[in-house]
Amino acid sequence: MTNRIKNEDIIELLKSRAGFVSGAEIADTLGVTRAAVWKKIKLLIKNGYVIGSSPAKGYKLLKSPELSIGEIRKFLSVHSTTIGKEIIFFETVGSTNTAAMEFAAKGYPEGTVVIADAQTGGKGRLGRTWVSPPGRNLYMSIIMKPEIPPRDATVLTFMSAVACTSAIKKLTSVPVSIKWPNDLIVGNKKLGGILTEIRADMDRIITAIIGIGININLETEDMPDDIKTLATSIKLETGESHSRTIFAVEILKEIDKWYDTLIKLGKKTIIEEWLQLSSTIGQTVKVTTGDAVITGIAEGIDSEGMLILKLPDASLKKISAGDLTILRTASS
């Protein structure tokens, strides 16, 4: 017998039984000692699993933790080709994007995912802070090494927004849409966002880090006063708590699918899907970029993801970055 045993092995065995499973049966089935089983059971309980125990009957899985890295690894090992083959977890980290960039510099492979339960320095666009309390939301960053020119880096953000929106629609009835360029919104409230950071030469992307923040079980009282009217969460929209494990798996599966689509079919397919899921196009919007404030109708986006605005004088203007506010629909 050996003492080597994976957490996932015990969890799978307990899940496969309706009742209790004796320590002896677990040890025999997995080829380990009963002492090794007991050590792993204690570790699983420490990690949030609720496991009933009885000297006469053995062990029974009563409840899995709401965020289980082991289960995320297991599902992705079957359903993913690139994304999530390696997952690094932090209870608390400054920023998953910063950590992922550091791991990429050390040679970690494409598809490595960094997940944290909490961030002390979560990043938003335009230098803003992303509110990142523990036990509430998803904070993930993915190492990408796409063979695309730096000018097309925005399509990675679009691809990720499409994947996140598609995953949320699969799991819930929440009417989430995409606001240019990277916000996931419900109505006029922000549900999540994407932050893509790259290291590049003149003609190629060396590393791209895709950071994803989704409000899953965030409560209104968790929010700073200045965003309480601006943000929402899956729980606030549905009235129910949700498993971050399930959302992490579905989002990473969708990113794996859409990344494969990008590599095989190019950015045109991604942009077309983004347009279908966007709530920006056709709206009258205000865009703040630097010291300038520009108002117009969002006519579309170009092949590099730049927003095309129709100005009051009917001329067209392309905007590469800015803070966008939707004012009203073009027909209202």
Q: Which of 101-105, 130-134, 304-308 has the lowest mean pLDDT?
A: 130-134
Q: How far is CA 329 from CA 6, 283, 295, 298, in A?
A: 54, 4, 13, 10
**Res. 131 pLDDT band, cuts 50 70 90:** confident
pLDDT at residue 67 greater than cutoff 70: yes
Is the distance from CB of 231 to CB of 161 less than 8 angstroms?
no
Confidence category of residue 270, pLDDT binned at 50, 70, 90: very high
Whole-angstrom Cα distance, residue 83 to residue 15? 26
Residues 27-40 pLDDT 10s: 999 999 999 999 88
Q: At a CB cut-off of 8 Å and minimum separation 6, what does 52 contact?
A: 20, 59, 60, 62
What pTM was estimated for this model as a whole? 0.81
- pLDDT attached to residue 3: 60
* Position 189 confidence tier, pLDDT thresholds 50, 70, 90: very high
Q: Show Cβ contacts of residue 253 under 8 Å, excluding neighbours closer than 6 positions.
A: 75, 76, 79, 80, 83, 167
Mean per-residue pLDDT, 266-277? 94
pLDDT tens digit sequence for 190-210: 999 999 999 998 888 999 999
User: What is the predicted pLDDT for the residue at 191?
Assistant: 96
Q: Is pLDDT above 50 for 332?
A: no
Average pLDDT over residues 284-301: 91
249-268 pLDDT, tens per residue?
999 999 999 999 999 999 99
The band of 328, judged by pLDDT with boundaries at 50, 70 and 90, is low
166 within 8 A of 265, measured Cβ to Cβ: no
Q: All domains of the chain, ordered by start, with CATH?
A: 7-63 (1.10.10.10), 69-277 (3.30.930.10), 283-329 (2.30.30.100)
Q: How confident is the model at residue 331 (pLDDT cuts 50, 70, 90)?
A: very low
The predicted pLDDT at position 169 comes to 96
Q: What is the mean pLDDT of the chain?
A: 89
Would you give the DSSP letter of residue 226?
A: G
